[in-house]
Amino acid sequence: MFSNMLVKAENLYKCYRLYNKPIDRLKQKLSFGRKKYYEEFQALRDVSFEIMRGETIGVIGPNGAGKSTLLQLICGISNPSSGKIIINGKIAALLELGSGFNFEFTGRENVYLNAALLGLTKAEIDECYHRIVSFADIGEFINYPVKTYSSGMIIRLAFAVNLMTTPDLMIIDEALAIGDINFTAKCMSAIKEMQKKGTSIILVTHDMGTIRNLCNRVIYLENGRLIEVGPPNVVVEKYIKMMREKQNLRQTNPISEELSIISERAFDRSNEFEHRVEVFRYGTGAVKIKNIELLNEENQSINTVEFNQNIKFNVYLESSANKKISVVLNILDNKKNSITGCSFTSANQPYLETTTGGKYLLEFEFKLPLQEGHYSVFIQIAAPLIEDTVYYDVVTDALVFEVKKWKTAPLPAKVYLFPKLNVMNL
């Protein structure tokens, strides 16, 4: 059985010492353990798993979950604080951008340097050099210093070099997130070929579609702990559910002390909402979205929707100036493709003229005949101009929700139509 096992991790712990000031490192040395001048950060806690030859393993989890630390332990870049990890084969890894490259060397010189470090002889590098250059497809830049490369060009060259080394285990950490769609497609084809040849792969990515498509099993990490190991569909669904619950946690608990009444409805100035979306919003701020709710027909807050259910999005706005605005609400799928949407124009609604200090509630009511999956809401408030549009507030991921599977029939597309159909015998 061991001959078929490529990686075995047993009770891995990785603890880092965090010092507030550089001088604290010296103080710690001189204290001989009598006093601590550092704080401990547990990057990994009791992580155990096995990877067999020929398997493709996905590693998922939020930022800071311990994914990169785990890859460093597997590659031997870092040692575990306790526990052990056994590697039974040759590893090639794409970790930090440009790692292993000398930025003063040309692309050609780095190909020979990296390939040699990965165990290829000069004759072997000469033989596969043109295939490496062809795969990287960076043109004349192969003869320029790597310091002149874009991030996409660096990852192209690194991927091409690692691809030619025929490792037992290929580790890819977010490499597919950099580069254009043509190169990503080329990488996908290369990964498929490696799988056919029996190469094991560890893939770290936030693209759950890629995880489902390529992986045999998935490792889910969070806060340094191993949450689950199992089939892609099962583990990915658990991960997405937990992330969605965290994102919606504050949405469903508005702050009551900041409520005011407009047309006998609650206007929620949600500090939690603003904190959650601050990274994903832009605009002048003259008119701002204060909160958004997803409600059912009984006006109950929900985050799971049945197929073709009647729902309502309540969008709360506050204006700090006199403006004439239009509002667009789009539904995006989990790959951020715009699936459907609506606006003042599609609802035959005249543009809203706001006043300084004005507070407004917009109610978007419609059905959602969408394929099962996870969706998010994109909202845009702008001046109603065709050219030189002024954006007052644009928020991506204003709200995340799930649409359940339609039990009547499988859906072949994201949006399902209910047409009036006439069948005539001619």
Same-domain status, 219 and 288: no
Strands (E) in 154-224, as ranges, are 169-173, 200-204, 217-222
Nearest in space to 118 (alpha carbons), one of 162, 173, 60, 168 = 162
Q: What is the pLDDT of residues 349-382, one digit of tens each?
A: 889 999 998 989 999 999 999 999 889 899 999 9
Same-domain status, 314 and 212: no
- Cα separation values, 75 from 68, 72, 119, 383, Å: 11, 5, 15, 53
- The two three-digit tokens of residue 346, written as one number: 């599609």
Provide the pLDDT for residue 159.
84
Total number of domains constituting the chain: 2
Q: Which uninterrupted H or E stretch holds 352?
A: strand 352-354
Same-domain status, 208 and 341: no
Alpha helices in 197-263 (DSSP H): 208-214, 232-249
Same-domain status, 281 and 197: no
Q: What is the CATH number of the domain that holds 217?
A: 3.40.50.300
Does any domain span residue 426? no
Does any domain span residue 412? no
Same-domain status, 231 and 316: no
Same-domain status, 108 and 164: yes
What is the CB neighbour count within 10 angstroms for residue 344?
17
- Residues ≥6 apart with Cβ < 8 Å to 39: 17, 18
Provide the pLDDT for residue 131.
86
3-class SS at 335?
coil
3-class SS at 256?
helix
Does any domain span residue 372? yes
Provide the residue-wise pLDDT of the chain in tens; the chain has 426 residues.
446 889 999 999 999 888 888 898 888 888 887 888 888 889 999 999 999 999 999 999 988 889 989 998 998 888 999 999 999 988 888 776 556 788 899 999 999 988 888 778 899 899 889 888 888 888 899 999 988 988 778 888 888 888 877 788 999 887 666 556 667 777 877 888 888 889 999 999 887 878 888 899 999 999 999 999 999 988 988 888 787 666 655 444 443 333 333 333 445 556 778 777 876 788 899 999 999 999 998 888 898 999 999 999 999 999 999 999 999 999 998 877 889 999 988 888 889 999 998 989 999 999 999 999 889 899 999 988 655 678 899 998 888 899 998 888 888 888 888 888 889 888
Does any domain span residue 258? no
What is the CB neighbour count within 10 angstroms for residue 221?
25
Same-domain status, 20 and 145: yes
Does any domain span residue 285? yes
359-368 β-sheet, strand order: 287-295, 309-319, 359-368
Nearest in space to 59 (alpha carbons), one of 235, 229, 204, 216 = 204
Same-domain status, 164 and 16: yes
Provide the pLDDT for residue 178.
59
Same-domain status, 291 and 224: no
Does any domain span residue 265? no
Q: Look up the domain containing 155 and give its range.
A: 5-239
Provide the pLDDT for residue 221.
94
Same-domain status, 234 and 277: no
Conformational region of residue 133, where left means phi above 0, alpha means psi within -120 to 50, and beta covers everything else? alpha
- Residues ≥6 apart with Cβ < 8 Å to 209: 334, 335
Q: What is the CATH number of the domain that holds 334?
A: 2.70.50.60
Same-domain status, 278 and 235: no
Does any domain span residue 360? yes
Provide the pLDDT for residue 278.
76
Does any domain span residue 423? no
Same-domain status, 292 and 231: no
Provide the pLDDT for residue 184.
73
